Structure formats: C-alpha cells, structure tokens
Amino acid sequence: MIADMYKRREKLGYILLAVLLLIIIGWSLFHPPKTTTQWLEMLFFLFPIGFIFSVIFISRSQYNKVKHFELPNSDQELLNLDHIVIKKDATFIPRLLLFEKNGRYIGMIKPIKIPSWLYPLIFYRDSFIEFIPLSFSFVTHDGKTQFTFHKKGWLKQVNLNITNQEQNDIGTYIQKELNALFHIKGQLFNEKEEPILSIKASGFSGNFSWKDEDGNQWAYFYNGKFPHEYTNVFRDIQNDIVELSDKLNEDDKTRLLAVIGYLFIARVKQ
C-alpha cells in the first residue's frame, strides 16, 4: 500500500514535469527570449523544475526502501478502534489512507462516481472537486463500504448527509463555508435533526479536541510519531493522529468519522 503510494507520487512528478516542460517549450516558441533580461526571466522555471525533481527523487528513494514488504491489514473493525492515523494518498483525486498506530492498514476514504468531464479540471487543480455535489465513502482494505457522506453546497454553506453501511440516513453535518478558510465551524446533527456536537477548529493546527455540551470528549487531534516498527516508512513527526472516544455508540462514531473524513479531504484540497 505505502509502496504503491510512493510509486504514484513518482509518476505524478513525471507527469507534472512533462506538462511544465511543454509549457516552457511552447512559451519559448511563441515568445522567444531576445534580451539578457528575458533569458534571466526564463530561469524562474528552474525553481518548479527543481522542486518536481526533488519530489521524484524522494519518492523513488522511499519506494526503494519499502517495495519489498507490505504493511499488514488491520484485523479490527473501524468502529471498534480508539484511534486512526490519517495520511494523504498521492493521487490527483483527493483520497485519505487510514492506519492504526501499529502500522496496520484500515482502509481509505475516497470520492465515488466522479463525472468524467470533471477529471481534466481536477488534473489542472483538484480544488474543482469542491464545487459540485459529490459522495465519499470509507472502504475497508477488503473492499467493504462502511459509511458514505454526500456533500452538497459551496461558498456559503456545506451540507453533508451521512449514511451507514446499510445506506440508512443517520445524520447531517452543516458547515459555514465562508469561515472555513480561517476557522472551521460546524454543527453535527443526528437522524432526528437534533444537534449533538459543535465542530470547531483553527485550520487543524496544534493539538485540539472536540467535546459535546456535557464535556464529553469525542475526538482528540494531534501530530505525532508512529510507535511501531514501521516508523521509518512514514514521517517521524507530523503524522495526523486522531484519538476516538470508546464511549460513542455506533451511529455517533460513524457520524464523527464522516465529519473527520470530510474536513481532512477539504484540507488536502487547500
């Protein structure tokens, strides 16, 4: 799984490099530099080229390091876990990979049924995925869909309709999108449209927790190391880890995970 991620990241680097070189060649053909100043201005392109080469080199190095082994799959149900580690997948389509702290792979959160006309726009900039109604699912390592959330709205307000494994509506999340650039503020509702949790965060920076009105902690967010034998596969620091309350019922935990998935997907796009 991780080896595939680094391989995709390397391929993505080559694609971006090819696109950038085509842009440089096209610009040079239609607007050939004639003066020393214009030639110096062309040196600007060395910065993105250097960055892309560094991504390719690092991805290749990491791939060679992990290509001979696969991280084991989790033998736990997602709803039984008291924590998750979230990592961005290296694809054009925003996806999240979920792991346990012991390195076992749980599954992924990914968009489903993306319109074919949207792919060229996503290739240009993945934030275009934000502008249309879209559904995301959590799929386990063995291909089972645990829950789905359907996103609607943009700019002023985003609504998530959350369904469980049986495709029953179990709740809604509403977020004031205009404030999301600086401060995330939303409200989670159950299937009876009763508010059950206020969501507040400042750009996912630092350690913070979400608590209900009774002071019960639902989730605690922090960055940290992987305390397991595969630490060298991941980053030593800045891994996004979320501790989940073991006092939540199945529906509440599903609602919580759906909101966490959406907010991390939104952060990936920024």
Nearest to 221 by CA among 208, 237, 212: 208
Residues 235 and 180 in one domain: yes
- pTM given for the model: 0.73
Q: What is the pLDDT of residue 192?
A: 94
Q: How far apart are the first and last CA of the chain?
A: 25
Per residue, the 3-state secondary structure of the chain, as one string, reads CHHHHHHHHHHHHHHHHHHHHHHHHHHHHHCCCCCHHHHHHHHHHHHHHHHHHHHHHHHHHHHHHHCCCCCCECCCCHHHCCEEEEEECCCCCCCEEEECCCCCEEEEEEEECCCCCHHHHHHHCHHHHHHCCEEEEEEECCCCEEEEEEEECCCCEEEEEEECCCCCEEEEEEEEHHHCCCCEEEEEEECCCCEEEEEEECCCCCCEEEECCCCCEEEEEEEECCCCCCHHHCCCCCEEEEEECCCCCHHHHHHHHHHHHHHHHHHHHC
Do the beta carbons of residue 27 and residue 69 sit within 8 Å? no
Total domain count, the chain:
2
Q: What is the pLDDT of residue 159?
A: 92
- Report the distance separating Cα 80 and Cα 76, nearest Å: 7
Residues 111 and 173 in one domain: yes
Q: 72 lies in a domain?
A: no
Q: What is the pLDDT of residue 123?
A: 61
Residues 43 and 133 in one domain: no
150: domain range? 78-269
Q: What is the CATH number of the domain that holds 103?
A: 2.40.160.200
Q: 254 lies in a domain?
A: yes
Residues 6 and 120 in one domain: no
Residues 30 and 161 in one domain: no
Residues 210 and 162 in one domain: yes
Residues 62 and 164 in one domain: no
Q: What is the pLDDT of residue 11?
A: 82
Could you tell me the two tokens for 134? Answer: 């879209």
Q: 49 lies in a domain?
A: yes
Q: What is the pLDDT of residue 182?
A: 58
pLDDT tens for 93-151 read 788 889 988 878 899 999 888 777 666 666 666 666 677 788 999 999 988 999 999 99
Chosen domain end from 66, 98, 118: 66
Residues 138 and 171 in one domain: yes
Q: What is the pLDDT of residue 53?
A: 86
Q: What is the pLDDT of residue 25?
A: 86
Residues 90 and 212 in one domain: yes
Q: 99 lies in a domain?
A: yes
Residues 16 and 104 in one domain: no
Residues 133 and 6 in one domain: no
Q: Is the dihedral of CA 144, 147, 153, 156 positive or negative?
A: negative
Do the beta carbons of residue 52 and residue 81 sit within 8 Å? no
Residues 165 and 35 in one domain: no
Q: 145 lies in a domain?
A: yes
Q: 221 lies in a domain?
A: yes
**What are the 10-residue block averages of pLDDT along the chain, 270 residues in total?**
70 84 84 79 80 83 71 87 86 82 88 74 64 89 92 85 94 78 83 93 73 93 65 59 93 95 75
Nearest to 150 by CA among 53, 258, 54: 258
